[in-house]
Amino acid sequence: MSFLGIDLGTGSLKAAIVDEHGREQAVSSVAYALVTPHAGWAEIDVETWWNALVHAMAGLPRELRDGVRAIGFSGQMHGVVLLDANGAAVRRAMLWPDSRALAMLDAWPEPQPNPVAPGMAGPLLRWLVLQEPDAARRTRWALQPKDWLRVALGGACVTDASDACATALADPAGAWDTALLQRLEIPSEWFAPVAPSYAAAGALSPQAAQALGLRAGIVLATGAADTPCAALGSGLVRDGDALLTTGTGGQIVVLANDEPAPLKGLHRYRAASDHWYRMAAMQNVGIALERVRGWLSFGWAEAYREAFDDAADASAHAAADAASTLSFLPYLTGERTPWLNPQARGGWLGLSLEHTRGAMMRAAFEGVAFSLRAGLDAIRASGAPVTALKLAGGGSVDARWRQLLADALDVDLHAVDCPNAAPRGAAILGGLACGHWQTRDLAALAPGATRVAGPRGDAALAERYARFVDLYGRVEPWFGGRAPGEAK
């Protein structure tokens, strides 16, 4: 007996099979690219997702696929997929890095229960109603990405609270805000009923089963957003448990038994279990490092070597000293926590003729680490003392990068002994949906974690972090934002 978890991410789809004890047996991944038909847009054809799923499933051993009893779903948050009455996509999916709806944010006046970003379903749908009325007329359902995938496999048209509460169209508990929808002129009938993340939500259709090499009739769980799935898969089950995920973006999640109080710059969302979580969400982690790597014409191995190893070489002290005078703001797609400024932008400051590509790459790694520290500082300021973080995400496996994160964040880092936390969490939801596990079993399913780095009290790095925060405050008005402390 086994369970399949599918994680529909921003840049790749992962499929993982776990056994009846929650242990990963196999994983397969297929990458894809977003489409940017106009500046600031981020879209993808749902056929790209479907083809990625078919290829990922083909990469899993046949004997393991034969034993799958249930499927759970994890998906990137905030974006939206529009379907017509026949279940066909009305247009390409619009995704969270999209900034076209920036001008729509005034429709969500302060205070809001959660920060509102232009790539969330609410602003995107408001833009659609105003700018693409023909697409709006043909729309029957406005679904979150993981919900589209479940429906495509034959499942029910539902969503869960962890995704609904992050659309800017629902209350913090995940119930659709019909008054807000009416004011925004977004049809309330577009939105699927809300069900528990671990509830059964249909069964695998014969057509989908044939395409994926699975048995028809397999139970499909409702599923959850990728961040709460990663938290579940990483073993966050108790109040105060904390997780750092690094992928395209970065999230710091702290689990809570009860609904947290509203906190400026932080999100308070429902978890995949019956918990809540507070979250600092930073948009520019892997996406910024990948772009910098490309600008500097580095392969990944070369990027790490030039940024970290050369700085430790006695023959490269001059370059290391030069790197220490260089700052990089990574805000290439705006930023959420803690600045809440979708117009923020990035770049290097302090460049001179002596700077090498390696120094620029090192400054980029530090800038991303500092942006994560700014998010963690917001969580700490809210009253949640965080001295240790579980670590998950494909962007956090290099030991040199982990040490920089531990130093910059001033925390102990414990790598979860499960490199694919989000699809594992999704698979656990599948096991709950078919009755194999109960929610009381979640603590026993938590994977092991190994301490991989701790803070070394790097005073020079702390000074560079202070310079980073000061730099952002000085340049924020350039981007249409406000300097810290400035009245709105």
Residue 451 forms part of a structural domain: no
CATH code of 330's domain: 3.30.420.40
476 has pLDDT over 50: yes
Interval 176-192 mean pLDDT: 97
255 and 215, same structural domain?
Answer: no
Q: Which pLDDT does position 58 carry in this prediction? A: 97
- pLDDT of 194 > 90? The answer is yes
In a domain, 446, yes or no: no
* Co-location of 403 and 473 in the same domain: yes
Q: How high is the pLDDT of residue 314?
A: 41
How far apart are alpha carbons 55 and 177 in whole angstroms? 38
Percent of the chain residues past pLDDT 90, beyond the cut: 77
pLDDT single digits (tens) 84-122: 999 999 999 999 989 999 999 999 988 888 888 899 999
215 plus 245 within the same structural domain: no
Same domain, 198 and 251: no
Quick one: 198 and 239 in the same domain? no
Question: How many angstroms separate the Cα of 316 from the Cα of each of 307, 308, 327, 448?
Answer: 11, 11, 19, 39
Q: Enter the pTM of the model.
A: 0.83
How confident is the model at residue 74, as a pLDDT? 98
Per-residue model confidence as pLDDT tens digits over 130-172: 999 999 999 999 999 999 999 999 999 999 999 999 999 999 8
Q: Both 303 and 254 in a single domain?
A: yes
Q: Are residues 247 and 308 in the same domain?
A: yes
- Does a structural domain hold residue 54? yes
Q: Residue 395: what pLDDT?
A: 65
Per-residue pLDDT at 262 exceeds 90: no
Do 134 and 266 reside in the same domain of the chain?
A: no
Same domain, yes or no: 31 and 50: yes
pLDDT classification of 289: cutoffs 50, 70, 90: very high
Say whether both 146 and 269 belong to one domain. Answer: no
Query: How much of the chain exceeds pLDDT 70, in percent?
Result: 95
Q: What residues make up the domain containing 279?
A: 235-417+457-488
- pLDDT band, very low/low/confident/very high, at 70 (cuts 50, 70, 90): very high
Name the range with the highest mean pLDDT among 208-212, 243-247, 270-274, 417-421: 208-212
At residue 316, the pLDDT reads: 41
> Last residue of a domain, which of 175, 205, 227?
227
At 324 the pLDDT is: 79
Specify the pLDDT at position 484. 40
The verdict on residue 429 lying in a domain is no
Domain-terminating residue out of 227, 244, 262: 227
Q: Give the domain-ending residue among 207, 227, 247.
A: 227
> Is the same domain home to 166 and 213?
yes
Q: Is 396 exposed, middle or buried (0-12, 13-18, 19+ CB in 10 A)?
A: buried
Residue 188 lies in a domain: yes
pLDDT digits (tens, 9 = 90+) for 221-247: 999 999 899 999 999 988 889 999 888
What's the pLDDT at 95? Answer: 96
Number of independent structural domains in the chain: 2
Q: Does the residue 441 lie in any domain?
A: no
* Mean pLDDT value across residues 358-369: 96
Instruction: Look at residue 452 and tell me if it is in a domain.
Output: no
The chain-wide mean pLDDT, for the chain, equals 91
Closest residue by Cα to residue 368 from 231, 236, 244: 244
Summarised one tens digit per residue, pLDDT across range 409-461 is 999 999 988 888 899 999 999 999 999 999 999 999 999 889 999 999 999 99
For residue 273, being part of any structural domain is answered with yes
Do 221 and 327 belong to one domain?
no
pLDDT reported for residue 265: 82
